[in-house]
Structure 1
Amino acid sequence: MAPGTAPHVLYVAWGFPPCRGGGVYRALATVNGLAAKGFRVTVLTATRETFIKFTGADTSLEALVDPRVEVVRVPFSWPHLEMDVRQWSPLRAFMPRVWRRARLRLDVLDFPEKSYGPWKKPLLEAADRIHAADPVDMVVASANPNVDFAVADHLHRTARVPYVMDYRDAWMLDVFDGGLLHEEGSRVSKLEKRFIGNASEIWFVNEPIRVWHQKRYPEAADRMHVVANGYDPDLAPSSQPHSPDPGAPLRFGYIGTVSGKVPLAEFAAGWSLARSRSEALAGATAEIWGYLGYYGSPSQDLVDLIEDHADDGVVYRGPLPKGQVKDVYSTFDATLLILGAGLYVTSGKVFEYTAAALPIVSVHSPENAAKDVLQGYPLWFPVTDLEPETVARALEEAAEAARSASPEVRAACAEFSRRYSRELQLDPRLDAIAGRLGWQPPLVDSEVTA
């Protein structure tokens, strides 16, 4: 780094705008936070077409990227999801099982990660070009996919560039059941040990995941930090306390991707029971906003499940651009936090839910790490199990609270949420990067006038 020149940070993330996945908001906030502190930032990510074609895209997010950030896009191939038969090889067309086995072997040849492994080579080539043109001072790599970490490892081994690993999930740890996703002694276990051993910092989204990794890699424990997801104030719902119209049916809402891990069926059973007997829930609706499954096409099983409960007011509203989230939250009287089970699962949406300052019904296992975020939230209605009666009671209590909660209680909810603003989570670690590189971020306008 030349004297007086801002450090050059290379940020590696497969999921970056217009990706619509949950982790994209963390990536966007990190990149914009680095740019705001005066770093020169280059993002290495997949092409726009990757998301538009395979996963669905939220193009409104592209306008939120700081204009000082340079975005370098590397083509990404996803053969398993290619549905255009004109692009299929004869082997895939006529011998699909043989093709799938061969494809899996090819996927993990360069890097042990199904579907993403072949991306390693073009990623490293792009990183080398970037570093040759403008030497990189720090790499921040955000997984998953974990192939993103390969760039950090490569530049560290070839050019001694320090790096930060930002885990949004985990690689060896199954965050749902606490077991291992890969065998001890596997390529993944060896790579993760090397990556963590050489990292300047390792970030995790919650304390349980950090503690698990600290026990596994004690020599790196002091370099592991919790950077909770938080919510983005500019995009988060308003926390202005309000009460529903006494004569209008209540609107409960869920915003987020519904995966197979989400107990939507258990919620629907409890909802139908509660709505059949609760006066407060008369005519109420449960709105599901977001993608049904991880890909662009909705999961038919989830579509069928929602349609089966349509007579009880369960309705699917479809994907929601991030720029419209705030407006949709303002139409809700209560929110539905429906999450997969797991001691290590938090979910980014829990922070946004607190910002809405509405009753929150937690339809998830009591062991889920989201409970740690919501402890002390005045209008939190958790379940002790996922039986229909238990879920129904929580919904009924939330409905009564939506009708009767005082302005003081609603204001306390808004105050509670302020601790989870995303910049409060990120800033200490971004400042630590600046300190490591000997960079003094320029004063922003608010600091100059303070």
Structure 2
Amino acid sequence: MKNRRERRPRVLYLAFFFPPSRASGVYRARATANYLVAQDWDVTVCSAPLNFLYNVVGSVDEELCATVDPRIRVERPSLNQYTWQQDLREFSWLRRNFPTIAKRVYTFSQTKMFPERYSSWAWNAVFKALKMHLKRRFDVVVATGNPFASFGAAWLFHRLTGVPYIMDYRDSWTLDLFHDEPAFPKGHIAWSWERRMLQKASASVFVNEALRDWHAERYPDCADRMMVVPNGWDPDVLPVAPRELQAIAKSESDALSAESWHAAQRPLRFGYLGTLTAKQPVEEMAEAFKIARRHPDLANAELQIHGHLGFFKNSPGTLKARLGLTDGPNDESVDETGLRYCGPVSKTEVGKVYENADVLVFLAGGGKYVTSGKIFEYMAFGRPIVSVHAPGIAAEDALAGYPLWFNANSLDVDALAASMVAAGKAARDLSSEQRAAARRHANTYRRDTVLIPFEERLRKIAAR
């Protein structure tokens, strides 16, 4: 039996979105928990209740659960689903009999206690964690947001137990990433809560330098405890993940493949993989591709869209309309201009999608503070990448050293179409040396590489 000095450090990980959720932040949480276990941590995750993921959000990726290390303990505190409930039969006794009082109680909790509708989950997570802590203490807490009530839970748990905590900003709470302006008016309680939580945190983590700088400017007394841990790509869920990144000389098979390619001259396949949302410039992407297909090099090319249309049940119809898609056979949607909606893809199958594409389309919404986690997977497969987003977003920092990046630096559809044509030409002439160079750049963003400084910082905090 290990003595006290030899025992594994124990971390409580507050991650509302965790498999089988398919929310965008789930991959960072899954990878972090797996990495900590691999580094000999005892990991307990508090995550969303399953009935919320299945019945309210209505979209999950059950295959992703198989990629979670079985040594991780997952707890699922309950959540008051007041704002999501539509069925009278699901209402509480108080809401059914005294709806006005129930509304006042809920409004008070949002305006005077913690301004987020996930706050009940956070307080229940604290209650559950306290019971576990009494049996076997936690050494440190990691809270990842959104939802940002997880930060409040970490703060409260620290107040009650003295256990240090780290705040991991996958997103920004008080900054509107899509308009580059404060998300709350001056005097809103979100500001006082954020200051309170940051001041007590042993560290706070951001996905890019732009976000770290924005928060450091507003909370200068906490700036020395702020660090950047970028997103990355996960080799364990890319079935045809790139081999070790090194210069690869052309083999006979490479030459044969290239010869067959030029002989066949099949239409190019452009690919987008990810969740489409209303915040992305989908119309510009569709129109630019329509223009690009007029070029002889892109004749009969397809833009294959893989992934979910929105995060909720009613999202697909709106997004299909914005793309100009109509329902086709086999649950696919095909547009006469070459757009094809191919449906959702399990995280465990994304590698096949990437390898099947000749050019990858990086579609992103938002402004200069946005870094999409998807771009790291794109780079890992060494394909030409076309940017379709506003100029100057934070993702460009990661792409800057990528040798197969085609960026119009604009959302003008003619400029976007020209970059698509250039990327298509590059795809036809792509050599193994070019792919190797692209993959070498991507290798710096392997998740097990970018998490090293985070784990080291966490271990030092736990040791205190």
Calculate the TM-score normalised by the size of structure 2. 0.88
Q: Which of 220, 223, 236 pairs up with 2:222?
A: 220
1:416 Cα deviation after fit: 1.3
In the alignment, what sits opposite 2:7? Answer: 5
Secondary structure of the corresponding residue to residue 312 of structure 1: coil
Contact 2:268 2:424 in 1 (8 A): yes
In the alignment, what sits opposite 1:381? Answer: 406
Contact 1:113 1:146 in 2 (8 A): no
**Per-residue CA distance 1:276-298 (angstroms, 9 max, x = gap):** x2112111111111121121443
In the alignment, what sits opposite 1:446? Answer: none
Contact 2:67 2:237 in 1 (8 A): no
Equivalent residues in 2 for 1:238-253, closer than 5 Å: 238-239=241-242, 245=261, 246-253=264-271
1:111 Cα deviation after fit: 4.4
Contact 1:111 1:120 in 2 (8 A): no
In the alignment, what sits opposite 1:51? Answer: 53
Q: Which of 33, 36, 44 pairs up with 1:34?
A: 36
Instruction: Tell whether 2:363 aligns with 1:338.
Output: yes
Instruction: Tell whether 2:312 aligns with 1:295.
Output: yes
Instruction: Tell whether 2:450 aligns with 1:425.
Output: yes
Amino acid at match of 1:29: A
Farther-moved stretch of structure 1 (125-134 vs 9-18): 125-134
Secondary structure of the corresponding residue to residue 81 of structure 1: coil
Any stretches of 5+ residues in structure 1 without a counterpart? 440-450
Equivalent residues in 2 for 1:41-120, closer than 5 Å: 41-55=43-57, 56-84=59-87, 86-87=89-90, 105=107, 108=110, 111-120=113-122
Distance 1:192 1:379, change over 3 A: same
Contact 1:7 1:137 in 2 (8 A): yes
Farther-moved stretch of structure 1 (331-340 vs 215-224): 215-224
Equivalent residues in 2 for 1:224-303, closer than 5 Å: 224-236=226-238, 238-239=241-242, 245=261, 246-275=264-293, 277-303=294-320
**Per-residue CA distance 1:87-142 (angstroms, 9 max, x = gap):** 3589999xx9x899768616615743343133233222112212122211100001
State the distance in 2 between where 1:40 and 1:66 align.
11
Contact 1:256 1:291 in 2 (8 A): yes
Instruction: Tell whether 2:432 aligns with 1:415.
Output: no
Q: Which of 370, 386, 404 pairs up with 2:429?
A: 404
Secondary structure of the corresponding residue to residue 118 of structure 1: helix
**Per-residue CA distance 1:302-322 (angstroms, 9 max, x = gap):** 112334471111111122110
In the alignment, what sits opposite 2:419? Answer: 394
Amino acid at match of 2:385: I
Secondary structure of the corresponding residue to residue 46 of structure 1: coil
Secondary structure of the corresponding residue to residue 20 of structure 1: coil
Distance 1:126 1:381, change over 3 A: same
Q: Which of 286, 305, 318 pairs up with 2:322?
A: 305
Farther-moved stretch of structure 1 (356-365 vs 83-92): 83-92
1:391 Cα deviation after fit: 1.2
Distance 1:148 1:89, change over 3 A: closer
Instruction: Tell whether 2:439 aligns with 1:437.
Output: no
State the distance in 2 between where 1:216 and 1:178 align.
14
In the alignment, what sits opposite 1:194? Answer: 196
Any stretches of 5+ residues in structure 2 without a counterpart? 244-253, 326-333
1:32 Cα deviation after fit: 1.1
Contact 2:22 2:61 in 1 (8 A): yes
Farther-moved stretch of structure 1 (341-350 vs 426-435): 426-435
**Per-residue CA distance 1:362-394 (angstroms, 9 max, x = gap):** 000111111111002111111222121111111
State the distance in 2 between where 1:206 and 1:427 align.
16
Secondary structure of the corresponding residue to residue 15 of structure 1: coil
Contact 2:303 2:340 in 1 (8 A): yes
Contact 1:364 1:383 in 2 (8 A): no
**Per-residue CA distance 1:324-364 (angstroms, 9 max, x = gap):** 11111111111010100311001100111100110100000
Amino acid at match of 1:42: T
Secondary structure of the corresponding residue to residue 457 of structure 2: helix
State the distance in 2 between where 1:280 and 1:420 align.
32
Contact 1:9 1:39 in 2 (8 A): yes
Contact 1:107 1:118 in 2 (8 A): no
Contact 2:115 2:189 in 1 (8 A): no
Contact 2:111 2:189 in 1 (8 A): no
Distance 1:91 1:150, change over 3 A: closer
State the distance in 1 between where 2:315 and 2:346 align.
16
Secondary structure of the corresponding residue to residue 451 of structure 2: helix
Instruction: Tell whether 2:143 aligns with 1:141.
Output: yes
Contact 2:44 2:74 in 1 (8 A): yes
Farther-moved stretch of structure 1 (378-387 vs 107-116): 107-116
Calculate the TM-score normalised by the size of structure 1. 0.90
State the distance in 2 between where 1:61 and 1:119 align.
23
